[in-house]
Structure 1
Amino acid sequence: MCGPRRDAVAQSARRSRLRYNRGASGGLMTVAPALPLFGHTNAQSAFLAARDSGRLHHAWIIQGLSGIGKSRFALRLAALQLGAKPISEDPAGAPASDPVMQKILSNGHPDLKLIQRQLNDKGNLKQDISVDQIRELNAFFSLKPALGGWRVGIIDALDELNTSSVNALLKTLEEPPANCLLFLISHATAPILPTIRSRCQTLRLRPLALEDTQSVLETTEMENPVELASLVRGRPGRAEELAGGKVMVASSAAQSLVKSLPSANEAQLSHAILCAGEDDQTFSAFADTILNWVSEKAVEEPVWSEVWFEGQKIVSAQKSLHIPADQAAAKLVTQLQSAFANR
């Protein structure tokens, strides 16, 4: 199956390749990596060091916030392990013309298995990765590599496993087959069981620097890359979600609000809530901007950490309980006002 996240990575690779390979006159330039690396160099170096040592662990957790490039990172390492050849100093920087990379980008490599949530009969993503999918992965690992060398699996993401699929996964982690490598992507939205973490090595990926974020957005030909780079806060994968005009307005309203506090007037407060309350996306952008500001404030004044946690509770409740965006925005603004009043 070629899931939505896999499609997004492949489409990003195609757009990136076109942009990198064409000069100002439209002529072809030097061939570029199909999946360029932006940030995450320390994590890649840690994996390469283990690989070069000859003692490569069989399972790796790739952990970090959503939208920072974990799926792309895993595909790069999978391609490397399956024999893709780099065309630059980047060991995992294989071009799209590489035979291994071609098969990976087209979801046609027989020794790579990607596990993601599947679609239900109505065309919507299922809530969990099923136990049957993990059993398919276990069966895949029990076979010999079709092209020689290794078999590689990617689970995207650990956060979406249910109890049964976790138990099925543990069987492979406890008795790993030879020449098999497993990448487990974690968005850090759900705790990783100690029984899983203890059997894996962990690579922690951080949000990208502003310059790297802008570079990603430029290669994917997003409009307003400079403005979007500031909005997504090191998570370029969220750009399409936040690129709409009303979302940008909601973020701008949040920035204006925090600048006006604690003396914001009723008109400013009403405008902020109105902009944030359009829908779930506008509330998400509004809340992200507010909470990022609070987290920065907490660095100098630790008492603001409690404000951040309370704000996160509002955001989580809005998602899980389907609270209307305008009501959640009003709660967040009220909480922020109270925080200033009590300090």
Structure 2
Amino acid sequence: MTVIDNTHQRLLPAPAADVGRLLDRIGRPGDPLWPSPTWQPMRLDRPLSVGATGGHGPVRYHVSDYRPGRLVEFTFDPRIGLTGTHTFEVIDHGDDACVLRHRLVATPSAHMRPLWPALIGPCHDTVLEHLLDNAEHAVTGTVTDPVRYPWQARLDVRLFSVQVNATSVPQNALLLEAALPPAAGPRSDLADAYAARVPPGVTTDPQAWADAIFGNPPPAVTALFRLRNALVTPFGIERGDRSAFDTISRTDRELLLGTDAGHLDFRASILVEPDDDGVTVTLSTHAVAHHRTGRLYLALVRLFHPPVVRAMLRRAAAAAVRPRPVTPPGLPTTTPLR
């Protein structure tokens, strides 16, 4: 039966004790090694110790051996399709250097045998090389040869590190609530909310999210907006521009933007809510038409609004988790063991 035996390691110009302290923080908030926000974080149900259970995304395991500052062994939950272990180890390499090594030894189930070489293996390799990049950066301030993401890893990040769903307007969207007149709710012609969930480590500045969502929309959305401007003028509706997305007010976690036009009043709230396991960014939209033409306009907009908002929010979230080199190229400090 085929056994997967996969090793990644890096020679680091730092004492084993220093790198061991980094390893002891794995799976905890603020973990300096795990490559989040690009990948879903590793999380354990208790401090790092034998018996702690957790995983990253759908990959589940428990701590089966732990030697502080030296070794952490995880045993896979066989229901994921792997029976075996994956282990981090810090190995002395002289007084001022060490090797950080990860080894996975596991027997794949029948369905995992074709998946490992085609998809899961390349993603695993990418995560581990990115993690070793983070270790190298933590002890040297630079990285010799930053990891390059193959298409399988880019696809996995896009599919599983970013989730966008319809939701209700958050109760914490206080700027939006305060901006609406008492009578606005019952006669809203457009009111909805969509939330993006991304791993921890992304910006929590609502202005940065507003710039990403409205300042860099997908090309198809830009084309649709231009078509809208070309069609609405004969009906007495104002052509739109970027001023429709000007900031009206903000707090540390919420930003309110919008405009008052002849045919409608438009408000949007961007609420950013971080926690230990990720960041939720909710885009809530509210519009009230002033007359029949405005209501007809919004009736048409409602057909396109959900996919447009989803696309804009997903694009911004994907940009937030996109892997970036942790240091500019061309600054060698140490040679990694590949």
Q: Which has the higher strand share?
A: 2
Q: What is the TM-score normalised by the length of structure 2?
A: 0.24
Q: Which has the higher helix share?
A: 1
User: Which has the higher Rg, Structure 1 or Structure 2?
Assistant: 2
Choose between structure 1 and 2 for higher RCO, CA contacts under 8 A separated by at least 6 residues: 2
